[in-house]
Structure 1
Amino acid sequence: MIARWLSYWEPTSPGLHAVCAGRIEDYGYLADGRSGALVGRDGSVDWWCPSRFDAPSIFARLLDDDGGHWWIRPAGDFRVERSYLRNTLVLRTVFTTRDGSVAVTDALAMDSNVRGHEIGRNPPGLLLRLVEGLSGHVPMVMSYAPRFEYGRVRAHLDLRGETLVARATGTTLGMTATVPVHRQRTEASASFTVYPGQRESFSLSYSSTYHEREPMPVDVPGTLAETAEGWRSWISEHNYPGQYPELVRQNVMILGGLTYQASGAYVAAATTSLPVRPEGHDNYDYRYVWLRDFSLAMRALYKAACSLEAERLFRWLAEAIGDVGRQPVPIMLGVEGEHDLTERELDVLTGHLVRGPVLIGNDAWRQRQQDALGQVIDAAWVLRDSLEPMPDDVRRLLRSLAEQAAETWRLPDSGMWEARGEERHFVTSKVGCWMALDRAVRFGTVLGSAADLERWAAARDEIRAAILQQGWNPSVGAFTRAFGSDVLDASILVLPIIGFIPAADPRMRATIERIEQELTTDGLVRRWPDESAGFVICSFWLVECLALAGERDRAAALFERLAGRANDLGLFAEQIDLRTGQQLGNFPQAFSHIGLLSAALRLTEASTPAP
């Protein structure tokens, strides 16, 4: 547990003034299989897009003080300790004041009477908050300020029975509380005191205005218990026997919380526009499904002994991608398979801690990123036993990816880091094409004829020869970012991980050493020399490379050090500032948690004696 005192100026009229949002690592994460919410140490829900991950927000204080919030916290100074209830994403925060202590339990409700892998496919759209007195007496304040469509629209709060109802932009919100609430035009507030054993309940329901359900009384303690049981039933299908079992289970839960359960797709993160540099930079929208992340998540979860509906996931992917023909494969999709994710800047939100831009959509959807071809086919290869007999639409998808790799590998692309400038011949993009064809050949006649396999194998071998000749820079003494480049790039660490070259090969070993010497600071690996923050998944890739090179003890020490960089709830953003240790980028970041899972699995393999 991390505990620290937090001081806030208490406004004369609680709820009429916002306080500044916290740092990225100050947030906890709630999820219901459709969307995610961020809750700060100060008890404020500062981000929630209730209809789905990439929908407009109703709370966006994360990106602007006036973007909407719902806080419940002590009226004076307090110390914070928080944790998830075991094997859930139900968050319990204990506030300790000079007069006593109080717990606030928060969750997004899961579907009732649904258990196992089907949980989260039809959540009720309900945010639950339960306040419990633990000791002494604690004066509390509540402030509720919904702001629709990313803070652009304020709606009147109307009282219907015991429910405060707000309607705008096709959305209806209903807030209930067991304490007296002072209602103003577009905000509500409350002041109350809790004593030991006293419970006060709060709930916020979401529905479409045009399919509105009548507000119903909510049994908050009972629904919280059902939600916790639902999460536990979901994780019970995970039976991982390897190293770091508690840490692996926790990260499986986090990836579960980043899943749009209706389709089974994993979003890259639950937020948009959280900067990756302290001064504000690369503030992109990550609430979408990257083929790379989706494939890596499936592979990591499968290896972590999770029950995956592999056929359902690949059939969704085949349907979402469609018949690409000779067009570039879409490297990212909306959570229901949308292709057009056109990027635009919002002028209503100022940005997280620094001024914008705040972006909706992501123009990376227009890019060619060749490594994604290999990631998808590799995931299918790892999960092949769950794809027998292989459905025709999945076969067509994998075959088309292999054909595109064979036909287009000589083309430049934007690379896995999504460079928005000139396309280049990135080494990891070529390796992704190699992997696509290598796995396609391994599938054999399941995917193609004997002539196809011969053609794919020839292209695979040609790509490998080109990488070894043009990707290796003898003057640098390492594999570099792109053909003809002299710049180190941590993405090269994937080469031994995906089986392109052994980690102990002299060229790869030299590359690993150069990356350790020039891109690594205090265990954190930067992607390239002029970057100011460590990229979390690259740091875990270094763990895997060390383990593959036979340095298991050093790899384990680095892994444990990196795992300790998560916040107090075990959550990672995308990057970590090398000077301050602050987390940077969208949050929680699936890529980072996939990296931790994969590294834990690799260390387990490295510690298992060969048969």
Structure 2
Amino acid sequence: MSAGRVDDYGYLADGRTGALVSRDGSVDWWCPARFDAPSVFARLLGDDGGHWWIRPAGEFQVERSYLDDTLVLRTVFRTEQGSVAVTDALALDPEARGHDIGRNPPGLLLRLVEGLSGHVPMLMSYAPRFEYGRVRAYLQPHGETSISRATGSTLGMTASVPVRHEGIDASASFTVDPGRREAFSLSHSSTYHQREPMAVDVPAALADTVAGWRSWTAEHSYTGLYPQLVRRSALVLQGLTYQRSGAVVAAATTSLPVRPEGHDNYDYRYVWLRDFSLTLRVLSIAACPKESERLFRWIAEAIGEVGMDPIPIVLGVEGERDLSERELDELTGHVAVGPVLLGNDAWRQRQQDALGQVLDAAWLLRERLEPMPDDIRRLLRSLAEQAAGTWRMPDSGMWELRGEERHYVSSKVGCWMALDRAVRFGRVLADAAELARWAAVRDEIHASVLENGWNPRVGAITGAFGSDRLDASVLVMPLIGFLSAADPRMRATIDRIDRELTTDGLVRRWPDDSAGFVICSFWLVGCLALAGERDRATALFERLTERSNDLGLFAEQIDPDTGDQLGNLPQAFSHIGLISAAWRLTAAATGRPTPVTAVI
């Protein structure tokens, strides 16, 4: 069997990496050491990538859900013989912040099969493939554990049922009756720091993991509209967090295509400053404020003080800078659409809007940064100085287009935001003369954008100076306070984007984009809410949230014709958009004051 549609996958997380489980019970993606480490299961990207499935032997129907307030997945298979449930989880990393999960080792995948009714024949197929399928290691029985070692890693699969070893793979056949439970676990460790294979109490480890997730969600403080949707998206963002550093990756996967012909496949298992700063803001709305404070410190440590050279707009989860991109020939790609890429050459780009994103996040968190530490003050000052000194330069823009740099409106607006927030900090960051200089440059940027971004022939603000192409990135302008949604130029732009880039509520980034970009669609919700069209914004929001998969997960894009999720999953940007839009609708419905800070 081949990998299913992107919509078919559920997501598991443990505080350092994630796994994807298909509707038919197959773990098709897991990079156990950390998000961007080599995989041991990668059938998601090709049949030879490795898998571990457990499912009924005959035909079945599926219902699945997460256990409340967790990323623990429960899949119920219904067959002619009866029904059975499979509960899947990654045991929370024992170093995950704030949780006492001492009995579970790191790198532990848990699977519990429970008979619900009848007598259901089950099958298991275990086929690990190290290094994205490039390395195959023979299985060696070790008591009840099947051991594989390769490339410095050790996998130990334990099952409560008899297992057949078949060269490099293993399989099992068993039957479950009502009340009967069969337990499976898979541990990962470094071969050179070898643990003895240990017996895992799977039900107890699952209970620990559930308790760990719920102890985190108990700290949520969101009281606005759509609380369950916001809670789920906040959990997804938490599940994309590398807890040891506090970094939040853009997505848990690489190379899931956004178009049938491929080409735009990218590795998103890294930390973009833009996405990360937006995550800080929405977590301050949806969850415990302590999380956003801790995560901001990671930005300061990872970036350090900067000059006029481009800031590192994308980093590894422990602050790595060099993310050089390479193509993996051994895998054909998801549904045979390549290429499969490791690394991301966006690390070489200049993206000016990131300057504003970081300063805006700091402005939102200012009360939790008092008194402001010297390293954060130096960082914010240097970002403001870079915005003032480089805003006239072209860059690659927030969509990271490769090739010739341009004067993107969203990048200029990001520089404006950097200086606007720096000026708002006042004497905390600079003396009166510096503040006056920053304010003057800020106002110069504002005037330049309105003069050069507005295209009278198009009747809208376009994506770049001198361009006639619509670009949904300009929808951020009212959301960050650059231009009122009621301003005639902004209002005309919103209407034009709604009319020409939107299909059934899904907003494409530009006219020739092939699918709706999820966060752009949520930006339109926010713009409509700010323009006073609350009913229309609410209807659009509810239509968008119905487009998630059955577990509430969003990828990067959605095909407006088929409704299929496209791109890497789960996508932080998309879930950020949902939380922000819910907050905007709450503010519009309740009359709560909207803070100056951007929540986009």
* TM-score bin (small chain): over 0.9
Q: Which moved more, 1:290-299 or 1:110-119?
A: 110-119
Please point out which of 158, 161, 165 is paired with 1:183.
Answer: 165
Q: Which residue of 2 aligns with 1:382?
A: 364
Q: Secondary structure at the match of 1:301?
A: helix
Structure 2 letter corresponding to 1:411:
M
Out of 550, 553, 557, the position equivalent to 1:568 is 550
When residues 514 and 368 of structure 1 are mapped into structure 2, their CA distance, relative to the original with a 3 A threshold, is same
Kindly indicate whether residue 45 of structure 2 is the aligned counterpart of residue 63 of structure 1: yes
SS in 2 for 1:92: strand
Structure 2 contact 163–170 (Cα < 8 Å) conserved? yes
Q: 1:112 to 1:261 in 2, by over 3 A?
A: closer
Task: Give the drift of 1:445.
Answer: 1.1
The answer as to 2:386 corresponding to 1:412 is: no
8 Å CA contact 1:111, 1:227 repeated in 2: no
> Deviation string for 1:189-245 (max 9, x for gaps)?
001111100000000001111111111100001110110010000111112111011
| Aligned residue identity for 1:267 | V
Moved more, 156-165 or 533-542: 156-165
The CA distance in 1 between the partners of 2:28 and 2:283, in whole Å, is 29
Question: Which residue number corresponds to residue 164 of structure 1?
Answer: 146
Which residue, out of 283, 298, 301, partners 1:319? Answer: 301
**Where does the alignment leave 5 or more consecutive residues of structure 2 unmatched?**
594-600
Runs of 4+ in structure 1 off by over 6 angstroms are 117-120
* Paired residues of 2:346 and 2:400 also in contact (CA < 8 A): yes
Contact 2:217 / 2:287 at 8 angstroms: preserved in 1?
A: no
Q: Structure 2 residue aligned with 1:32, among 5, 14, 33?
A: 14
Alignment of 1:145-544 (within 5 A): 145-544=127-526
- Paired residues in the alignment total 592
CA shift digits 1:281-338 (9 cap, x unpaired):
3110000000000000100110224333444323321221123322110101000000
Q: CA deviation at 1:184?
A: 1.8
* Superimposed CA distance per residue, residues 244-287 of structure 1 (whole angstroms, 9 cap, x where no aligned partner): 11111111111110000111111000000000112323110000
Which one-letter code corresponds to 2:515 in the other structure?
A
User: What's the offset of the Cα at 1:485?
Assistant: 0.6
The residue type equivalent to 1:236 in the other structure is A
Q: What letter matches 1:367 in structure 2?
A: Q
Amino acid at match of 1:531: D
Contact 1:114–1:230, Cα closer than 8 Å, also in 2: no
Can you list the C-alpha shifts for 1:329-380, whole angstroms capped at 9, x where unaligned? 0101000000000000001111000331100000000000000000000001
Find the aligned partners of 1:161 and 1:55 in 2 and give their Cα distance. Answer: 29
190-199 or 347-356, which deviates more:
347-356
Secondary structure of 1:308's match?
A: helix
1:132-151 matches, within 5 Å, as: 132-151=114-133
- 32, 35, 40: which is aligned to 1:53? 35
Question: Equivalents in 2 of 1:608, 1:542: separation in Å?
Answer: 20
When structure 1 is superposed on structure 2, of 301-310 and 329-338 the one drifting more is 301-310
1:117 CA displacement: 7.0
The counterpart of 2:571, out of the listed 589, 596, 607, is 589
Q: Deviations over 1:38-93 (max 9, x none)?
A: 00011000000000000000000000111000000011110000000000000000
Q: Which amino acid letter does the alignment assign opposite residue 257 of structure 2?
A: P
SS in 2 for 1:37: strand
Asked if 2 retains the 8 angstrom alpha-carbon contact of 1:573 and 1:589, the reply is yes
Alignment partner of 1:23 is 2:21: no
The equivalent residue for 1:5 is none
| Rounded Cα–Cα distance in structure 2 between residues aligned with 1:309 and 1:214 | 35
Tell whether the 8 Å contact from 1:112 to 1:227 is kept in structure 2 after alignment. no
Question: 1:362-411 CA deviation, whole Å, 9 max, x = no partner?
Answer: 00000000000000000010111111111111111111110000000000
Structure 2 CA distance for partners of 1:113 and 1:152, relative to 1, 3 Å: closer
With the length of structure 1 as denominator, give the TM-score of the two structures.
0.95
Q: Give RMSD over aligned pairs.
A: 1.4
- Partner SS for 2:112: strand
Deviation, 1:113, is 9.9
Q: Can you list the C-alpha shifts for 1:404-428, whole angstroms capped at 9, x where unaligned? A: 0000000000000001011000000
- Matched with 1:14 is none
TM-score for the superposition, normalised by structure 2: 0.97
State the distance in 2 between where 1:568 and 1:540 align.
19
Instruction: Give the distance between the partners of 1:43 and 1:391, measured in 2 at CA.
Output: 48
State the identity as a percent: 78
- Render the CA deviation track for 1:509-535: whole Å, top value 9, x for unaligned: 000000011000000000000111000
Q: Is the 8 A contact 1:269 1:287 kept in 2?
A: yes
